[in-house]
Amino acid sequence: MGRRSFCISYEKYGVPVIQRLGDLGSSVGSSAAAASSNGLVVVGDAPQGSNSFGAFRWTSTQGIVAVPLPQLFGSAVTADGNMVAGGDSWWNTSGQSEIFGPLPGTPDQTQAYGLTRTLQARPPTGLRQTMTNF
């Protein structure tokens, strides 16, 4: 039996509720990494079946749901819970996704660990290039 993720949610009358997130059927289980600002969306890693990698998005209404490829990791979520990022790619609930790495000079080392807002449009190339300065 693999890891099992649990989440503390404050959605029931302000009283902390511990909620089991579940897994996607692999022996690895799941690992939560980030939550939306209201705590109603949780993202993390959970491979499906015999896969080695995979991202998930969890809500109390839908439960744990696999995020489509190319999203292999779920390490960040926007405040509204609509965009997931991890590794060198992002995905949103509208079905859009993009790979944004590896960045120049960092082959295979691009990782997203935080998001500030949902992108309404693809960022300009200049913006993506300046990310290497962080």
Is the pLDDT at 97 greater than 70, yes or no? yes
C-beta of residue 83 within 8 angstroms of C-beta of residue 95: no
Give the length of the chain.
Answer: 134
Q: Which residue has the higher pLDDT, 1 or 82?
A: 82
The pLDDT, as a whole number, for residue 125 is 41
User: What average pLDDT does range 73-77 have in this prediction?
Assistant: 88
Nearest of 38, 50, 41, 36 to residue 21 by alpha carbon: 41
For residues 89-98, average pLDDT: 88
Q: How far is CA 49 from the centre of its chain?
A: 18
pLDDT digits (tens, 9 = 90+) for 19-71: 778 888 887 788 888 888 888 899 998 888 777 788 999 998 899 999 987 78
For a pLDDT cut of 70, what percent of the chain falls above it?
68
Interval 102-131 mean pLDDT: 56
Mean pLDDT of the chain: 75
Each domain of the chain, given as residue ranges in start order, spans 5-133
Give me Rg for the CA atoms of the chain.
Answer: 15
CA–CA separation, 119 and 83 (whole Å): 8
Q: How many CB atoms lie within 10 A of CB 129?
A: 11
Rounded to an integer, the average pLDDT of 102-119 is 66
Rounded average pLDDT over 4-30: 72
- Mean pLDDT score, 73-80: 89
Q: Is the pLDDT of residue 124 over 50?
A: no
pTM for the whole thing?
A: 0.74
